[in-house]
């Protein structure tokens, strides 16, 4: 018996046991290899378990929402003075673009002067309109109305005087015949009557002129003047309103030339449309309102644009959960849901005889990962769950001319066994018929198995075709 050295653990016995176990495994594996012709490291057992069936498709990341920012100034070009660096992430309220406002500020100063002048003109117009209103009130209710009343009153007095003298004259005529009065007294009364009748005629003419000519003419003149002043007042008010609106517009445009992000995202410059060849916009370029300056895709909310084959489209529907992997971040796993499945199939214009495919949109759950549009992605859509089913690795299934087979490992060697398959994912596939639990299948094909039947080695049955 060997005695261990002082201070040194004795690991000789465990090492001997491990070596013995390894020898037994090697001997057993060699025995299995010699009996079946299969490498035991490439053999799997048929097991019963749960299968989460997935449909895998490749696609491209797109933002759910993108906002393109443009110049707010219509009809004129403005200079780009400042741009947020392309590719940087911005938050809501961060500065994106600053445009030149020199010309707008000159226009603003001019409009301010025009507004002040318009306000002064409005005050004058209001005063003249009030004066015209007072004039027409004076004509209809003041001096003009009083002159009409005076004319009518004078006419009434003249009429009464003439009637009184006429009655007096008629009363005196009989007295002359009886000798109570003299002819001179009667003549005096007659002269007074004639004078009163002349005054009555003048009063009647004066009243007609005042009532029918002078007063209506003054009323018409005052009304026209009031209408003219009202029109001037309306025009002055319109000028003030127009100047105020233009002032507010220019103020908004000047403020709008400092463009801030309305939502978080990634800064992407737009191409400059006025140069050839095209290039990205930069500080110093002059842009119109139709030219996009920067686009901010909302990278916190992304989707995967993918497609699904015609034979598989019946398996997917909106609302199904999905796991998404991004090529740029191999260790990242994102979650999402199918948001839309295309209703019409499409085929490649250059390869019209290829399988028709349907659009598939997977909307990702909000994430803080630094995703970017156009990244390559792969979505595993969960299309169903199967419990207590027979499962084999997908690498154990092969396609032969006569159908799908697995290679059953038996004492007599490898036996091609036809099988019916159900759901699958990227690791295992459901076997509906052809195998029993605990049977063993080969993960590789025997040499010349496909060549004997087809002249070439068949591909794995679940590989993309």
Measured at the CA of 320, the angle between CA 318 and CA 323, to 5 degrees, comes to: 125
Q: What is the pLDDT of residues 108-166, one digit of tens each?
A: 999 999 999 999 999 999 999 898 888 777 777 777 677 777 778 888 888 888 888 88
- In this structure, are residues 68 and 295 in contact, taking their beta carbons and an 8 Å threshold? yes
Tokens of 7: 């201070």
DSSP symbols for 152-184 = HHHHHHHHHHHHHHHHHHHHHHHHHHHTSS-HH
Its sign, for the CA torsion 18, 24, 26, 32, is negative
Alpha-carbon Rg for the chain, nearest whole angstrom, is 54
pLDDT reported for residue 212: 78
pLDDT reported for residue 303: 95
- In this structure, are residues 266 and 296 in contact, taking their beta carbons and an 8 Å threshold? yes
Tokens of 365: 């759950």
Which domains, from first to last, does the chain contain? 40-62+299-454 (2.40.30.170), 66-99+257-297 (2.40.50.100), 104-255 (1.10.287)
pLDDT reported for residue 29: 40
**Going by C-beta distance under 8 Å and a sequence separation of 6 or more, which residues neighbour residue 458?**
398, 399, 400, 401, 445, 449, 450
pTM of the model: 0.59
Per-residue pLDDT of the chain (465 residues), as tens digits, is: 333 333 333 233 333 323 333 333 333 344 444 444 567 789 999 999 999 888 899 999 999 989 999 999 999 999 999 999 999 999 999 999 999 999 999 999 999 999 999 999 999 999 998 988 887 777 777 776 777 777 788 888 888 888 888 888 788 778 877 777 778 887 888 888 888 888 888 888 888 887 777 777 777 888 888 899 899 999 999 999 999 999 999 999 999 999 999 988 899 999 998 888 889 999 999 999 999 999 999 888 899 999 999 888 998 999 999 999 999 999 999 999 999 999 988 876 666 667 789 999 999 998 888 888 999 999 999 988 889 999 999 999 999 888 999 999 988 888 899 999 988 888 899 999 999 999 999 999 888 665 433 333 344 455 433
E strand or H helix at 428:
strand 428-433
State how far the Cα of 46 lies from the Cα of 393, in Å rounded to an integer. 9
Nearest to 166 by CA among 199, 194, 187: 194
Q: What is the pLDDT of residues 379-413, one digit of tens each?
A: 999 988 889 999 999 999 999 888 999 999 988 88
3-state secondary structure of 3: coil
Residue 388's region, left for phi above 0, alpha for psi from -120 to 50, else beta, is left
pLDDT reported for residue 450: 54
Q: How far is CA 434 from CA 394, 397, 407, 417, in A?
A: 15, 12, 11, 7
State how far the Cα of 145 lies from the Cα of 139, in Å rounded to an integer. 6
- In this structure, are residues 438 and 403 in contact, taking their beta carbons and an 8 Å threshold? no
Nearest to 396 by CA among 377, 412, 383, 414: 414
Tokens of 69: 């920012």
- Which residues is 391 bridged to in the sheet? 47, 430
Measured at the CA of 279, the angle between CA 303 and CA 80, to 5 degrees, comes to: 95
- Which residues is 295 bridged to in the sheet? 68, 268
DSSP symbols for 213-273 = IIHHHHHHHHHHHHHHHHHHHHHHHHHHHHHHHHHHHHHHHHHHTEEE-SS-EE-EEPEET
Residue 298's region, left for phi above 0, alpha for psi from -120 to 50, else beta, is beta
State how far the Cα of 396 lies from the Cα of 386, in Å rounded to an integer. 19
State how far the Cα of 195 lies from the Cα of 202, in Å rounded to an integer. 11
């Amino acid at each position: 018996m060997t005695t261990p050295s002082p201070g040194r653990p004795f690991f000789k016995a465990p090492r001997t046991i491990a070596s013995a176990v390894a020898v037994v495994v090697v001997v057993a594996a060699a025995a299995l290899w010699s009996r079946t012709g299969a490498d035991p490291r490439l053999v799997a057992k048929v097991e019963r378990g749960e299968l989460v069936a997935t449909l895998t498709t490749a696609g491209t990341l797109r933002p759910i929402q993108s906002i393109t920012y443009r110049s707010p100034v219509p009809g004129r070009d403005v200079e780009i003075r400042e741009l947020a660096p392309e590719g940087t992430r911005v938050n809501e309220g961060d500065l994106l673009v600053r445009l030149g406002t020199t010309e707008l500020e000159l226009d603003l100063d001019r409009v301010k002067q025009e507004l002040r002048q318009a306000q002064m003109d409005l005050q004058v117009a209001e005063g003249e309109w009030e004066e015209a209103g007072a004039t027409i009130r004076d004509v209809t209710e003041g001096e003009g109305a009083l002159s009409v009343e005076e004319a009518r009153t004078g006419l009434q007095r003249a009429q009464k005087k003439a009637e009184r003298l006429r009655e007096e004259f008629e009363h005196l005529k009989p007295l002359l015949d009886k000798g109570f009065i003299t002819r001179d007294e009667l003549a005096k009364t007659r002269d007074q009557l004639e004078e009163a009748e002349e005054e009555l005629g003048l009063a009647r003419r004066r009243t007609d002129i005042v009532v029918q000519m002078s007063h209506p003419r003054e009323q018409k003149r005052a009304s026209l003047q009031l209408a003219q002043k009202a029109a001037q007042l309306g025009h002055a008010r319109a000028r003030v309103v127009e100047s105020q609106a233009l002032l507010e517009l220019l103020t908004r445009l000047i403020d709008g030339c400092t463009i801030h992000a309305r939502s978080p995202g990634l800064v992407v410059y737009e191409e400059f449309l006025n140069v050839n060849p095209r290039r990205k916009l930069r500080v110093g370029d002059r842009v119109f309102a139709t030219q996009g300056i920067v686009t901010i895709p909302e990278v916190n909310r992304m989707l995967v644009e993918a497609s699904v084959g015609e034979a598989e489209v019946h398996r997917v529907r909106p609302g199904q959960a999905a796991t998404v992997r991004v090529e740029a971040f191999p260790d990242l796993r994102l979650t999402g849901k199918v948001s839309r499945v295309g209703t019409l199939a499409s085929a490649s214009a250059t390869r019209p005889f290829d399988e028709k495919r349907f659009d598939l949109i997977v909307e990702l759950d909000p994430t803080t990962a630094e995703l970017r549009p156009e990244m390559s992605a792969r979505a595993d859509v969960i299309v169903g769950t199967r419990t207590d089913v027979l499962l084999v690795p997908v690498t154990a299934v092969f396609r032969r001319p006569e159908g799908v087979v697995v290679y059953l490992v038996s004492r007599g060697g490898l036996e091609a066994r036809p099988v019916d398959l159900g759901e699958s994912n990227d690791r295992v596939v459901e076997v509906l018929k052809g195998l029993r639990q605990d049977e063993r299948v080969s993960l590789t094909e025997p040499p010349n198995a496909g060549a004997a039947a087809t002249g070439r080695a068949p591909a794995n049955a679940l590989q993309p075709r």
